[in-house]
Amino acid sequence: MVEATAAKKDNKQEEAGEEEKTQLNRREFLNLAWLASLGVLVANVGGAVVIFGYPRFKEGEFGGIFTFGSIADLPEKATSPENFPKVKLWLVNTDEGVQALYKVCPHLGCLYGWNDQEFKFICPCHGSQYEYDGDYISGPAPRSLDKFVLRIEDPDTGQVLAESDDQGSPVPLPDNPNAVIRIDTGKRIQGKNHE
């Protein structure tokens, strides 16, 4: 009987030891909670960095591709330029071809406008003036207007028929009146400095 009682005590002590081993003390619990909260923080920050870095420019928005339409939709040559405020550009149709001008003055970033009476662009902030094709005329601006890369594509095949060069020269119009004009507002060509 004494042996049975001793065996019961040993079993109880073993069970108590196992319970102590499976139960966390306060320090271990706080360490695990701290590590778990640190893991959640790292996952949140990592997710925010990925979302922030992912390009979100959609077609038709500033920073993305803007599809104007076909060559047949262009305004007549040497008429008032067409204004697209959502994508910050002016579309001009010159004798040499078509251009997409960035709507921000290179002087201090004001939005310039078109003046029909004088047939030129004028910045209301400091009076910089530009010709119809964006070339500098006068004022404190350091250079001509910046231009966007413009492509003219075949509507059926998507083949590029004409594209802006590195200087932002007017893009000559192909013979196909159904060719589509696309403007990449994420790619800007800096205007040439004036002397």
* Burial per residue of 103-136, b for 16 or more beta-carbon CB atoms within 10 angstroms, e otherwise: bbbbbeebebebeeeeebbbbeeeebbbebbbeb
45-90 tens-digit pLDDT = 888 887 777 665 555 555 677 888 788 888 888 788 888 888 888 8
94-141 tens-digit pLDDT = 888 888 888 888 888 788 888 888 888 888 888 888 888 888 888 888
CATH number (3.40.50.300, 3.40.50.2000, 3.30.43.10, 2.102.10.10) of 65-189 reads 2.102.10.10
Its pTM stands at 0.65
Supply the pLDDT for residue 168. 76
Domain ranges of the chain: 2-53, 65-189
